[in-house]
């Protein structure tokens, strides 16, 4: 069983951060920092499949579970990433139960789904019996779906019934846009929708999380919602804010 799946089954809180740049040392650094999980983002970045593989190897070197956010509704990337054996995957920008079912099916071998056969790193390049992998280990990957549109919340009760969906992760910026208050993530309408979705997800026994910024004010508000999983901050923001702070200190004394 992978480390992230163990945390989910033990109902542990999970605190993670995002990696958006290509250097695999960043995943290793986040592991050294002590985060519970690292999110490797393929949706909004130039990270490609080779970068993902390097990131996964770096993360495993420091025993930090890694989840990969896939490009939106992309069968080819889903297959490629699944063969790399991440601890988890995230499907972004989903709106309906029908979409969720089709996406989850991509990750499951027949008769449970439609995943094509071709495991590589997932079977240790031959060290693990392929049939055993398809019948057992392939189910260990944690499957998350993002809540980024009000349409999904309207179908959330039905979506929660779909097998092999482990949890949901809010994307508050896009969710706020679907509610007519784009980027007003703490607006009354957006927060009300988030609270409603949390109640549905928790009633159905699924994990619920959110990805947001690293500002203490934001983290405090999100934590008060009773989330199970929180991803805060990103590699690029740590570099930028650290650089701004150092340069300001240098100018103060030079």
Domain boundaries, the chain: 3-253
List, for residues 168-203, the tens digit of each pLDDT value: 999 999 999 999 999 999 999 999 999 999 999 999
| Residue 59 binned pLDDT confidence (cut-offs 50, 70, 90) | very high
pLDDT for the residue 64: 96
**Which CATH number applies to 3-253?**
3.20.20.60
| Residue 1 binned pLDDT confidence (cut-offs 50, 70, 90) | low
Q: What Cα–Cα distance (Å) separates residue 56 from each residue in 18, 62, 194, 204, 235?
A: 13, 10, 31, 31, 16
Nearest Cα to Cα of residue 71 among 95, 84, 89, 51: 89
* 8 A C-beta contact, residue 134 and residue 117: yes
Tokens encoding 70: 């896939």
List, for residues 26-45, the tens digit of each pLDDT value: 999 999 999 999 999 999 99
Element (H, E) at 90: strand 88-94
pLDDT for the residue 193: 98
Tokens encoding 99: 């979409």
Distance CA 4, CA 37 (A): 8
Percent of the chain with pLDDT over 90: 98
For tokens 């695999």, name the residue. Answer: 24
Nearest Cα to Cα of residue 148 among 107, 216, 90: 90
List, for residues 107-156, the tens digit of each pLDDT value: 999 999 999 999 899 999 999 999 999 999 999 999 999 999 999 999 99
List, for residues 199-221, the tens digit of each pLDDT value: 999 999 999 999 999 999 999 99
List, for residues 79-93, the tens digit of each pLDDT value: 999 999 999 999 999
């Amino acid at each position: 069983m992978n480390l992230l799946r163990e945390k989910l089954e033990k109902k542990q809180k999970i605190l993670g951060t995002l990696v958006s740049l290509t250097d695999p040392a960043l995943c290793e650094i986040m592991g050294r920092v002590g985060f519970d999980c690292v999110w490797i983002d393929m949706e909004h970045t130039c990270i490609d499949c080779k970068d993902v593989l390097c990131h996964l190897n770096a993360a495993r070197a420091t025993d930090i579970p890694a989840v990969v956010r896939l490009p939106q509704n992309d069968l080819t990337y889903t297959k490629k990433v699944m063969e790399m054996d991440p601890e988890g995957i995230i499907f972004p920008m989903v709106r309906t139960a029908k979409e969720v079912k089709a996406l989850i099916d991509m990750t499951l071998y027949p008769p449970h789904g439609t995943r094509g056969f071709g495991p590589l790193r997932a079977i240790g390049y031959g060290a693990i019996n392929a049939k055993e992998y398809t019948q057992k280990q392939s189910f260990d990957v944690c499957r998350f779906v993002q809540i980024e549109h009000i349409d999904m919340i309207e179908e959330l009760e039905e979506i929660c019934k779909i097998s092999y969906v482990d949890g949901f992760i809010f994307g508050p910026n896009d969710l706020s846009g679907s509610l007519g208050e784009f980027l007003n993530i703490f607006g009354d309408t957006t927060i009300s929708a988030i609270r409603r979705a949390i109640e549905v997800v928790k009633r159905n026994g699924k994990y619920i999380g959110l990805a947001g910024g690293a500002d203490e004010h934001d983290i405090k508000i999100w934590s008060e919602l009773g989330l199970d999983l929180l991803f805060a901050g990103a590699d690029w923001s740590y570099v930028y804010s650290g650089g701004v702070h150092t340069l300001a200190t240098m100018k103060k004394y030079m």
